[in-house]
Chains A and B, each alone.
Chain A
């Protein structure tokens, strides 16, 4: 199949791109659709107004659900999770750590719920094995002594960044499909029941871009309602729930630890490489753009989490973040967590459009299934008869995508054993060669990458110093390479630190306060990054 991408410059000086399918939203869902369609031979363009995983995909718990979490209140989702969990473990093992999960009830939790739990699991077909509280504490020594019931389930963890990057990269390999970062949909040109073009803006250059596709897919996650409305569709109705998570400096447990009770605040602790992620809270919000953790949410998570793992009350946290879950408006209950975790695919024919669809809701765990359903609709509309193969074709690993994996960088570095390849991020051992590879050929690589874009494609800045030191060193290296050539490099540095700070602001106590003081002494006291605009 030859790509149908043609560039031409129209009279107005605005660039036009042609493709089979335009996918809006570079979360795991959009990335998954891109690969699914590419496996069917179709050419796609994926755009994101920020960058890959800028939405919920880059700010979640990273839990590859076994489904057990949903057995008591959403059997359908639980079953979907079970199936997808097994598929991902088999087909994308490089993105998954098969940690196993525990559900534990602590003194004060409802014994009846704990009693009924294995039965719930059984009806969803989910493996569940009771173990004694003593055995649970042997597996996870930090668990509270107050535990009275414990079960093992096949939970695992997944790296959404690598998942998205590799889906995008595979689509590129298959059909030359293209991913464009910082490209935002502004409006659609609609004529006679069809979208004729999508008008986009490059958020860095502010240049306009016209994309002409045969089919248009809205994979905007929490933003899906807004995007649908831009196409005149009023059938996507979402409410929003904000969730806040914390990252601890150390990995606290080997397994995923769930509280054995109906879903509530601070009741899941998920390991991720060398750290653990604690969460979440859930509050209704109308705000999609500037959600930040609050001190109250942090304190709630810490207090609730400490009931399962007392050490969570005293451990060092390095980061907190908030993201928004889109809630499909099917229930009008007040608690965001109660609403369905299922997903919705809308074909918008009722809205008078025949080449537009919206996929939203769901979970990271079910992204492949969501992509399959969406791609089935799109392929059918295009008269493409190829069946979905993402449930059997393994996701190939790509060299430029490997740097997001904790522990990968030091492994490659030791193996290469090149003393001139110096480590730039000392917390996560990211060497110069990783940065070179990312700016050269990672998905979305381009001429003037920000430090944030580089960090997104690696572990740089994810360790205890949160980029305070490596941000300076990586910028310095990029100057040295002639990649940064003027003060924009300093601006990238400042923006990177400002961005990282958003995640640190609410967890600065204990050692983090010392860390932060040193960082500020360097960034502001010495380098004057707080005064760049006034120089």
Chain B
């Protein structure tokens, strides 16, 4: 049987469903640009839920307390860093729009502030970040005030140990305690955050958990839990547990893929189509070609081949983990169009000797180069195609891992790429 090719026509096609791709779709929505998005939304699930802007200046060791001021320092030291090329006002707009959108869709975030938040990690270390989900906000506050607090973990939940969190924070937070409880109806064997979160969507489970939490808290008024407080309405689940227990409750992210990431993924998959975005999740574009009118994306899903005709395309396919870049024994390449990749001269130079070297590894600064209108450059140093734009961590000259700036780079560059694409589309129509 020959399957019929399904064809879509759109103004803007976004390739990639990481933070950059999803942010691009949101910005396109806000600008009323007709939009289609393709890509495995799994990448979003990797995030802890924290939205980092700038937690450290690359190649130096000091943590950044004031990220907006840090951007100026970044610009001095690394003028070709993607964040150095974007006016701070645009970065702010991007963050505001992104966080607002998430809030409107049921996952409230703290608003970006002047200072970074010192947030907790599942190992009991600390991390600088700009915005945290509302379900996690009380943790950094309790840490800052050294409020007496109990970290509670669950029997059978691997990789999250309250005793570990306490052991590593105790010298800075002497009033911190650890306790372990058994999750309702999950008393045997290994249990998983995602399953627990879905169980807490059920009111009866919440009532039973609330009782256990109250007991474990004893006299203490603030408790921290691994991030399992519901999947679709986390703010509601937390509020109800707080009301049932009379305690202040916060979540700490678990190891990825963690519930806060999955929440974002499921929310995008539900909300985008409702808002009119053509979303083709879990699939990869296998071919991308251009003609004078625009771009043609080819892919297929379980029902057969799909083509998307678009006037503009944003490439936000990420790095090695997501498949946007490929590392070969002979060098690094870009997977869809074989765009030139700015990279170290040889494989010998990809990594430094010490893994945790604060200066980071040169391979992470590899990526594609863009011009001022966010168009990737081709082999001749000129834009590859006027219909093509790029955003996210596929861009060269940044190390989001050492800079603690994953979401920041993704959101800010997506904001600029959509702005540039809109300008191009308007000119086309004119």
Residues of chain A at the chain B interface (Cβ within 8 Å): 292, 294-296, 299, 302, 419-420, 422-424, 469, 472-473, 475-477, 479-480, 482, 484-487, 489-490, 493-494, 497-498, 500-502, 505-506, 508-510, 513-514, 516-518, 520-535
Question: Given B328, B353, B358, which contacts A510 in the complex, CB threshold below 8 Å?
Answer: B328
Interface check B48, CB cutoff 8 A: yes
CA distance A525 to B123 in the complex (A): 13
B interface, over-half SS: loop
Q: How far is the CB of A458 from chain B (nearest CB, A)?
A: 17
Residue of B nearest to A519 (CB): B355
- The answer to whether B327 and A490 have CB atoms under 8 Å apart is no
- The answer to whether B188 and A480 have CB atoms under 8 Å apart is no
Quick one: given A419-B189, A498-B355, A517-B319, are A476 and B167 in contact (CB under 8 Å)?
Answer: no
Interface check B126, CB cutoff 8 A: yes
Measured between beta carbons, the chain B residues less than 8 angstroms from A531 are 56, 61, 63, 358
Question: Given A476, A516, A518, A526, which contacts B161 in the complex, CB threshold below 8 Å?
Answer: A476
- The answer to whether B355 and A479 have CB atoms under 8 Å apart is no
Can you sample 19 A-B contacts with CB below 8 Å?
Answer: A292-B353, A294-B348, A295-B346, A302-B329, A422-B158, A422-B190, A473-B159, A479-B164, A482-B163, A508-B351, A509-B327, A514-B321, A517-B320, A524-B402, A525-B400, A527-B125, A528-B127, A530-B356, A531-B358
Q: By CB atoms of chain A within 10 A, which of B61, B123, B188, B189 has the most?
A: B123
Give the total number of A-B pairs whose CB atoms are below 8 A apart. Answer: 152
Cβ < 8 Å to A, chain B residues 334-391: 346-348, 350-351, 353-358, 361, 363-364
- The answer to whether A420 and B156 have CB atoms under 8 Å apart is yes
Cβ < 8 Å to A, chain B residues 65-124: 121-123
Quick one: given A517-B321, A525-B406, A529-B356, are A295 and B348 in contact (CB under 8 Å)?
Answer: yes
Residue of B nearest to A317 (CB): B329
Measured between beta carbons, the chain B residues less than 8 angstroms from A522 are 255-256
- The answer to whether A420 and B346 have CB atoms under 8 Å apart is no
- The answer to whether A486 and B168 have CB atoms under 8 Å apart is yes
Measured between beta carbons, the chain B residues less than 8 angstroms from A469 are 255
Question: Given B61, B255, B329, B351, which contacts A472 in the complex, CB threshold below 8 Å?
Answer: B255
CA distance A422 to B164 in the complex (A): 18
Residue of A nearest to B325 (CB): A513
- The answer to whether A526 and B127 have CB atoms under 8 Å apart is yes
- The answer to whether B327 and A508 have CB atoms under 8 Å apart is yes
- The answer to whether B355 and A501 have CB atoms under 8 Å apart is yes
Measured between beta carbons, the chain A residues less than 8 angstroms from B327 are 508-510, 513
A interface, over-half SS: helix
Please provide the 8 A-B residue pairs with the shortest distance between their CB atoms, ordered closest to farther. A419-B189, A501-B355, A479-B164, A513-B327, A480-B161, A513-B320, A530-B356, A525-B401
Residue of A nearest to B349 (CB): A295
CA distance A476 to B61 in the complex (A): 26
Q: How far is the CB of B314 from chain A (nearest CB, A)?
A: 22
CA distance A380 to B26 in the complex (A): 84
Interface string of B27-66 (1 = CB under 8 A from A): 0000000000000000000101000000010000111000
- The answer to whether A535 and B402 have CB atoms under 8 Å apart is no
CA distance A299 to B353 in the complex (A): 18
